[in-house]
Amino acid sequence: MRSSFFLLVLGLASLVAACRAQGNSNHLSGETSPYLKRAVSQAVDWYPWGPEAFRRASELNRPILLDVGAVWCPWCSLMDRDTFTNVDTAGYINQHFVSVKVDFDSAPELVAQLQRAQAVLNLPAGLPLTSFITPDGKLYFGAGYLRAEHKDGKPSFREAAEKALKRYTDKRGIEEESFQLEVARKP
């Protein structure tokens, strides 16, 4: 029991130290949406939808990981709990993506555009909606619920993210199979 508690405290301390060392901070603290408020304490460096996230992605030459969900969606809660609160997964996300979180209920026009885009690309378009977008706003890969671990033949979040990163390097492929989103305005 004592060793488990010690490991938990040590893990939390190292997460805090790593976030401070990397300069990571979650950008959702001023948001009013219940879904975004719930993610404020997650280790993923979430941004709200808007130009700042796209500017940052362009500066870093990283794709955007977009998570759309709702507080009433049990699969969204499960993905938040099992995937986005996992310290290793959060570190991986922060290293390779600029992460954006959108509340389904607070941004109906944006969500409708994302769902249409994913459907056009023959990608899942339900909730949670997981999208991978270029810094200039091209949706090029996506999924629905992604569990933390590979199970029952379904890919894990990490496997899908690695596939998205690989596709991101194929600029010509993105030009051929992507959907341009309107990215300049907030929902």
| Global model pTM greater than 0.85 | no
Name the average pLDDT for the chain. 84
Q: Which pLDDT score, from 0 to 100, does residue 2 have?
A: 54
Q: Is 96 helix (H, G, I), strand (E, B) or coil?
A: helix
* pLDDT tens digits for range 83-129: 999 899 999 999 999 999 999 999 999 999 989 888 888 888 889 99
β-partners of residue 55 are none
Q: Which pLDDT score, from 0 to 100, does residue 25 have?
A: 56
CA–CA distance, 1 with 102 (Å, rounded to integer): 39
Residue 6's pLDDT band (boundaries 50, 70, 90)? very low
Q: Which residue has the tokens 């596939």?
A: 163
* pLDDT tens digits for range 7-31: 333 344 444 444 443 444 589 998 9
Q: Which pLDDT score, from 0 to 100, does residue 22 have?
A: 43
Q: Is 11 exposed, middle or buried (0-12, 13-18, 19+ CB in 10 A)?
A: exposed
Q: Which pLDDT score, from 0 to 100, does residue 34 have?
A: 93
CA–CA distance, 38 with 76 (Å, rounded to integer): 11
Q: Nearest CA to 183 among 119, 133, 124?
A: 133
